[in-house]
Structure 1
């Protein structure tokens, strides 16, 4: 009995010692995060997002060229294609021509957006008033817009759609890659590239109204512009910019938990920005103030189509279900003449409800 007790006592002592040892080892293995500062501007040492900035500039120049069609200029298909592929020295900024970068290579589903571009080129050659089934121009305020046979302003579908299929999609992929990148330097590189696709100044201030005389990168563009235009009521600008700052600082401090938390914030709020823009543009055509104004209605629906296309590239776990995304696509790809003439705007009201309810968006009407 005495011997058995001794053996039991020894066993218990060893077990306790083992647990104590494991606990100490676990504490030792956990890296202690030293305090670190989060700056107010994106001026991190070694930060480089030149490639993102180049593609933003290329997209802006393509957008400007596409809009010349609204002034009655028939677009040159070769030039438009060269701008998309960066061939033939098509850019007025020589540095863009020699950058070795282009829009097409980083665009997900490039044939979809090249298709919209080709449609615009064809539409621009029709010098007549558009009607249901026929391309042409429609008066919008004191200007015109060029639309296709179903009322789509294809230039808007290109720009807004590629904001999703290129800039949003690439940013999300780059942020996700930081979780598996082997070195801090590589994490920082990919984080910087993702930030560049937001297209805001490194000292971005969401409370500032940037002068129209400024040009990118001195003022926000593309998604950066929409932080103010369609993101103010959800405070998207401050939330996303702050998350980029905090996440970049966390990488340098090896604070993985904080880094990953910022990735989730950026994913969710950037997607919500796209949804809020789409929501605005499916509400606008149904407002009494826009009744009978085809130019304003079709312009809004075309932007809405582009932003809905952007939602295809949302991250896993999105608040928008696949079934509701398919419904949104189907609605925005309905003939625009049909959509605006439908009694009670049934389909557009359905799209409004999907977007508003999925993302808990502030009501607009």
Structure 2
């Protein structure tokens, strides 16, 4: 079964040109002007671009550099300095190789577990405690990376380095790779959360006087964009904001390469362009329809990749006695973390709750030595794969064939 038939049978994508759309959500209820959706994410006012997602680009590059610091330490046999990594997380003490990042005024930490719909509204009064808990979890990965880089060989119950082909990787005592848990987990707790639970939140987009200002095209101070336009662009930036980084845009392409999911990338891209064009045209009903499409289809990416890596890791447990498969399983672990930060547009809540995600993660590393207990690991991986695939309506076999 094709992916396009799996999830969005109830959501159709309108034609690229939208003509005389009745806008019941506009302040006047009048018909909007004719407008077209551009072929690329290009929007201008008075011949000047109105698109700006520089803050999102900075954060993508920051996380990439953090991952590279750990990767380089593993390859060179040097220490992955936890203090440097912690400074990178909060962008203090000029830790980055780029002066632009150091002086950007942006950081990853304050955007981790910080969304409006999920951490302010859905979790209610517990937002501060939970936010600090999530941030502390990622800071722990930085400590674990340093511990694994101190010259010990990885073994059951022992943090250290392991030779994966021609390169070394760093593993915690339970067999998880801190670098991958950091990268994939932050893709969820920061990037995914900000996209679907913050910037694409109607509470955020329409907050205060945003809707009336957008309708009247009142721009932000000396900027070229309205607040609503900029908010939408910030969601877009967390996916497309830094070419060459291996985050959501890259993994969307990987999922899209499989015949079962080969409309996903185009559908998300079109929804972003159409929603932005609708904002310019004050067509808020069409904007909201695109939000639902993006939320549902973007959630498929961590779901499919989690199952893929669970199955890839399971296969490698047999071929090399476990350790080499731990890299794939660590990627799966991080993508499972990301599932908590998805948003089901039908409920405005995650597809998997925190307790469900925590249970899957605990199951993966249960036992005396976590992933090193490979004799009992395969059945656990299959059970988690079945749980995820059933929720999203694809089969384990479909996800396992994605390259």
After TM superposition, the score normalised by the length of structure 1 is 0.82
**Cα RMSD (Å) of the superposition?**
2.0
Counterpart of 1:120?
145
Counterpart of 1:9?
none
Say if 2:340 and 2:350, in contact at 8 Å, map to a contact too: no
1:98 aligns to 2:139 (yes or no): no
Q: 2:387 aligns with which of 347, 354, 364?
A: 354
* Alpha-carbon distance in 2 for matches of 1:111, 1:95: 26
Greater percentage in helix:
1
Say if 1:124 and 1:136, in contact at 8 Å, map to a contact too: yes
Counterpart of 1:84?
89
Counterpart of 1:44?
43
List aligned pairs for 1:217-228, cutoff 5 A.
Answer: 217=243, 219=244, 221-228=246-253
* Alpha-carbon distance in 1 for matches of 2:141, 2:384: 22
Counterpart of 1:33?
32
Quote how far apart the aligned CAs of 1:122 are. 1.5
Q: Secondary structure at the match of 2:36?
A: coil
Counterpart of 1:53?
57
1:197 aligns to 2:238 (yes or no): yes
Quote how far apart the aligned CAs of 1:291 are. 2.6
Counterpart of 1:314?
342
* Alpha-carbon distance in 1 for matches of 2:103, 2:353: 42
The 1:296/1:40 distance shift into structure 2, 3 A limit, reads farther
Q: Secondary structure at the match of 2:137?
A: helix
Consecutive unaligned residues in structure 1, runs of 5 or more? 1-27, 201-215
List aligned pairs for 1:237-316, cutoff 5 A.
Answer: 237-287=265-315, 291-315=319-343, 316=348
Quote how far apart the aligned CAs of 1:277 are. 0.9
Quote how far apart the aligned CAs of 1:331 are. 2.1
* Alpha-carbon distance in 1 for matches of 2:349, 2:98: 40
After TM superposition, the score normalised by the length of structure 2 is 0.75
Q: Can you list the C-alpha shifts for 1:158-182, whole angstroms capped at 9, x where unaligned?
A: 0110011111111111111224433
* Alpha-carbon distance in 1 for matches of 2:318, 2:249: 27
Say if 1:83 and 1:90, in contact at 8 Å, map to a contact too: yes
* Alpha-carbon distance in 1 for matches of 2:239, 2:313: 28
Counterpart of 1:178?
205
Q: Secondary structure at the match of 2:173?
A: coil
Quote how far apart the aligned CAs of 1:266 are. 0.8
Quote how far apart the aligned CAs of 1:332 are. 3.0
Say if 1:56 and 1:199, in contact at 8 Å, map to a contact too: no
Q: Can you list the C-alpha shifts for 1:57-102, whole angstroms capped at 9, x where unaligned?
A: 1111111111112211111222111111111111111010011111
Quote how far apart the aligned CAs of 1:244 are. 0.5
Counterpart of 1:342?
376
Q: Secondary structure at the match of 1:96?
A: helix
* Alpha-carbon distance in 1 for matches of 2:106, 2:39: 30
Pick 1 or 2: higher relative contact order, CA cutoff 8 A, min separation 6: 2
Quote how far apart the aligned CAs of 1:294 are. 2.9
The 1:321/1:59 distance shift into structure 2, 3 A limit, reads closer
Number of equivalences: 319
Say if 1:58 and 1:91, in contact at 8 Å, map to a contact too: yes
* Alpha-carbon distance in 2 for matches of 1:326, 1:82: 28
Q: Can you list the C-alpha shifts for 1:209-231, whole angstroms capped at 9, x where unaligned?
A: xxxxxxx43x4541111112234
* Alpha-carbon distance in 1 for matches of 2:245, 2:34: 32
Counterpart of 1:75?
80
* Alpha-carbon distance in 2 for matches of 1:220, 1:244: 20
The 1:269/1:280 distance shift into structure 2, 3 A limit, reads same
Quote how far apart the aligned CAs of 1:317 are. 4.7
Say if 1:285 and 1:291, in contact at 8 Å, map to a contact too: no
* Alpha-carbon distance in 2 for matches of 1:73, 1:156: 18
1:325 aligns to 2:357 (yes or no): yes
Q: Secondary structure at the match of 1:197?
A: helix
Range 145-154 or range 313-322, more displaced: 313-322
* Alpha-carbon distance in 2 for matches of 1:37, 1:107: 36
